[in-house]
A and B are shown apart, each in its own frame.
Chain A
Amino acid sequence: MTSVPKFDQVKVGDEIKPIVLPPISRHQLALYCGGSGDHNPIHVDIDFAKKFGFKDVFAHGMLSMAFLGRIVTSWVPQKQVRGLGTRFTSITWVGDVITVSGKVTGKREANGEKLVDLEVKCTNQNGQDTLQGNATVALA
């Protein structure tokens, strides 16, 4: 992490440096299955995925949400994160190359803290958003 942004210096519209991730791999989905405790076979067992009408296994939505967490904590230390939320807007497939981006959408004060609202999202190699999320961080 470079220097932590200060509330007075941050402007609406400021962008966080995007993160371009390596292509989603089956290995990564297996690791996430174990690491997250989400054992739904649809993410790791192609036979199971096909039985339920999918062409292949696909990434856990929460794996991509973890990428949203990564971009937020690349910008401010985790102890300053107050909220993180997302809608899962399309499926992330094996091989997809996800870019994580974020920008400042608002500044406000609440509960005695100076808060900055962010839009954060994951976008695939076709320019389609896979997650549309938001985060709130407290800045000094």
Chain B
Amino acid sequence: MQLDKKLIGHTFKPFTTTVEAGKIRLFCKAIGEDDPIYVDEEAAKKAGYRAIPAPPTYLTAVTNDDPDKGGLLRLLNVDIGLILHGEQHYEYLAPVHVGDKITCQQKVVDIYDKKGGALWFVASETELKDQAGKLVAKAKGITVVRNPDAAKK
């Protein structure tokens, strides 16, 4: 298996998703977050937010809500069972709240291998903009692909 470095620079089709209270509630249940600001609009407003805020790593649920889910793996022609998450970084430029319509666009910024091609690394960046077109966050991720051929050598 070898990934095609010509895919560096590939930009995916943007999509827009609405931040939903019910999904934040489920997300918080999963991560064990019990701060009332994430479930109760009054508590959020009392704490100085204009609506229920999305928890810091809820942006992953926003970027995962792509109707063309799995686009990166299809582009790379990689099976989902071979990937691991290498790194993730968020830069928060403005708060994201329930009701916001967030437009996400992902771009492949680097592809490289280590250990003689046993592991491949795909770095991508996603810009998140709100309904006014303002950049609210940047997400940078590194996806690690285990080369199934490496084990056979």
Chain A positions within 8 Å of B, measured between CB atoms, are 1, 21-22, 28, 31-32, 34-42, 48-49, 51-53, 60-63, 65-70, 72-73, 77-79, 81-88, 91
Please report the number of residue pairs spanning A and B whose Cβ atoms sit closer than 8 angstroms: 120
Q: Which residues of B contact A (CB under 8 A)?
A: 23, 26-33, 35, 37, 47-49, 53, 55-57, 60-61, 64-65, 69, 79-92, 95, 140, 151
Contact B33 A85 (CB under 8 A): no
What's the dominant secondary structure at chain B's contact region? mixed
A5 to chain B, nearest CB (A): 17
In Å, the complex CA distance between A58 and B2 comes to 26
The answer to whether B88 touches A61, judged by C-beta atoms less than 8 angstroms apart, is yes
Query: In the complex, A73 Cα to B44 Cα: how many Å?
Result: 14
**Contact in complex: A35, B29 (CB < 8 Å):** yes
Q: Which of A37, A67, A79, A86 lies in contact with B53, CB distance below 8 A?
A: A79
Give 30 CB contacts A-B under 8 Å: A22-B32, A28-B32, A31-B30, A32-B27, A34-B26, A36-B30, A36-B60, A41-B81, A49-B81, A52-B82, A61-B85, A62-B88, A63-B31, A65-B57, A66-B33, A67-B31, A69-B55, A69-B57, A70-B31, A73-B55, A77-B47, A78-B53, A79-B48, A79-B49, A79-B53, A84-B89, A85-B87, A85-B140, A86-B89, A88-B86
